[in-house]
Structure 1
Amino acid sequence: MRHIRYAVIATALVLSGCSAMPTKWSQPPMAIPYQPSLQQQIQLARIEQILHQPNIPQATLATIYYDRGLLHDSLGLRDLARLDFNKSLDLNPNQPDLFNVAGVIFTQMGMFDSAYESFDSTLDLAPDHPYAHRNRGIALYYGERYELANDDLLPHYQQDINDPYRVIWLYVNDIKFTPEQADSLLQQRYAASDKKDWGWQIVRMYLGEVSEDQFLTEIAEYSKDNEELALRLTEGYFYLAQRYQQQHDYSTAIMLYKLALAGNVYEYVEHRLSLLELNRIFTAEQNAVPVESAALSA
């Protein structure tokens, strides 16, 4: 992750096209967008130099391409990342972490069958992989396979009941899988947690314990620097957009997804999925179909 340190800026900047947002968000808190760091640029230059050396062992070359793929991915250069990952897999197909990253990228692109295959490969190679079940559950959710998504997301939550993001994704899926129980289950899981992680503030906002204004104001006021501000706003705007999308308020959801993208936090799943959500909404509008159906046809 980049380590750009700026003074915290919770400014009254407005993204172009945000005038359709409710009045209370006419001046949403924003961070200075992430920029490629000097360290990242030096790493890419060093990798280029290494790749020009002769007689690099195959296993080493696979690692180099994987590392460069991660760098490209962290800069939002998805196609270059995929090329590097494919080269790495050709050289060494026994890489569960690489299959996991590939699955996340396929999910972002709406290529759900490829995503499922990638996560299956991860779990075949590493059954105890810490993120593959969650990521496959998210892919299954977007593929409208809500029961199968629950089969991944519920055990993943049970492994760490104090992780708010496991609770949040269970709730997002529960709204589709068991809508009549979603809110009560969210309340029960919140009550059972230690409530220490910042992400529980998202859950409190979902439960109505804090207002949306309070939620955004606290992010702006209590983030210690621009990096933390960018990270929390990426998450905050994405999960707030989810709330409005569930209410079929797509114009507000669109604006919030755009704000989630504004910090350039390419590595966060919330940034990746904001792109997917926008594509679903726009595809549905063009084809005059429900948003969920658009996900499967995109």
Structure 2
Amino acid sequence: MQDALEDADVYRTLLESTRAIPWKIDWATMRFAYIGPQIEALLGWPQGSWTTVEDWATRMHPEDRARVVDFCVAQSQAGVDHEADYRAMTRDGHYVWIRDVVHVVRNAEGEVQSLVGFMFDISERKKAEEELLRLHRELEQLSMTDGLTGIANRRMFDTRLGTEWKEARRSGQPLSLVILDIDCFKQYNDAHGHVAGDECLKRIAGMLGALARRPRDVVARFGGEEFILLLPDTDENAVRGIAQACVDGVAQLRIPHGDSEVHDVVTASLGVGTARPDGDTTAREFLAGVDRLLYAAKSGGRNRIETGNWHRPSAAR
């Protein structure tokens, strides 16, 4: 008997000397049979204040409570060992990330008798995970952004074109594209230098971004001196107005061009198209068609807009 008591004291000492917090709940009464004194150092709540599972549940972040409680109860009823991560409230109103590792103890008849487990402070791990997630999102955003102008890049445009094409096919709403190419940009760089050329691109990108403000609109640098606007739920009349605003916006910037074949300030040529995806029409065919319109505008004298509509692959006009 003495040996058993000594062994129990040794086990308790070992449990209470770890950073993990041991606990036990009687299943029939839903009351704590034991919780380690380390709980007070971690959360501030006295060891004796942990009486029932209600104390555990109410000291949990409201956003986590229903999810965690429902999960733990269901797993315990099924006799399945489990783990749960949640934010536990400290006595002074702050929160600590906890991982509860739960073992279900059954009696000889296979009925749930008690729950025993450990609480672990995983706050530092969560901070590290959140920082990694933030960095991942930041890198993902950078991978979708043009480094010079700060607007979307070709990769972002390609991704969104596929998404919006599918949505337009589903909804039956029109989808429009505007491809804008700065006229005689090589000559501009030759006459004014590449630093001035970069500034020209940034100013035009800023102007275009101000024209397409709806959440689903995309303004991207398409490559070199080309920009593209992806405009969901935009019909032929609306996109013509936006295209004209692009031409006017470039003109209003009044960027001097010392070697243009068109004007003494920077101008742009535009290909503009509207599609209502139908049948075998593909987004790539639509994009290629609008790109051909751009080159028609350039070969037709530059500083102009060329438009077309697509209802089926063979219906460009």
- TM bucket, shorter chain: under 0.3
Larger Rg: 2
Using the size of structure 2 for normalisation, the TM-score is 0.18
Considering fraction of residues, name the structure with more helix: 1
User: More strand by proportion, 1 or 2?
Assistant: 2
